Amino acid sequence: MTLQSTWSAYWENIDDTQRVFRIEARDYVARVRRILQPTRATTVLDFGCGFGHTARELAPSVGNIALWDASSNVRRHALERVRDLGNATMLDLQQADEAALRNRFDLILVHSVLQYMSPDEVRSWLARWRGMLSRDGRLVLSDLLVPGAGSFGEIPSYLMFALRHGFFWDAFTAGVRETAHYWSTRKSAPLTVLPRQVLESWSTEAGLQLQWLDENLSHRRSRATAVLRVA
């Protein structure tokens, strides 16, 4: 079983009722709007779309938004959440016609996803994402685990984020309930940590030019965000 499929199995057993998913999506989309400045003409792929909260928040600001997630459970919830949106579509990238997707997206958002992929899967997807980008399109890889990020040290900052947004007790109780399951999965499928120079090398290999943003596109300050364009 691959790293990605192991974590996909984990997500099959997650429900979408935790308030954190909606609130983090709102925070993330606010940063996307401020830093990346999509317009009503922008075509977007939300890769690793989660339960559809990001697409729900972002849809009014863009032209069209396509969604995809490796977990069928997550896709089902996401589709239900965006079903009434006229500019949102669920893709099937497992059965995708690569030619139909070529040069299609102005913005590909891959948020908090690469850590659940193996290095080989990351390299493979970099090449595929390049083919999906429009001529001036941007591939945005955010919440990246770089060396020194993603440890237990993130827990206090997460609880502070929850406190600021009014869901501290929900975050605390849900965290206690979920921690054992999450860390059990993480022990069998360790998250992928990507040194900056490694991702830069793989991006060049895929024909992409990488630029690091000064800030991550989430409240997790120790993580990183990279914006890639066709070289």
SS3 sequence of 133-152 = EEEEEEEEEEEECCCCCCCC
Tell me: the pLDDT tens digits for 162-173? 667 667 666 666
Higher pLDDT, 208 or 102: 208
Which residue type, as a one-letter code, is found at position 213? L
Q: What are the angstrom distances between the C-alpha of 2 and each of 36, 96, 119, 128?
A: 32, 20, 11, 18
Closest CA to 54 of 118, 132, 107: 107
pLDDT tens, residue by residue, 42-73: 999 999 999 999 999 999 999 999 999 988 88
Greater model confidence, 187 or 109:
109
How far is CA 67 from each of CA 25, 38, 197, 202, rounded to the nearest angstrom? 14, 16, 29, 25
CA 201 vs CA 15, 205, 216: distances in Å = 37, 6, 20
93 CB-contact burial (10 Å; exposed 0-12 / middle 13-18 / buried 19+): middle
**Phi, psi at residue 145, to the nearest 5°?**
-80, 105
Q: What is the pLDDT of residues 126-137, one digit of tens each?
A: 999 999 999 999
Q: Which domains does the chain have, with CATH numbers?
A: 3-230 (3.40.50.150)
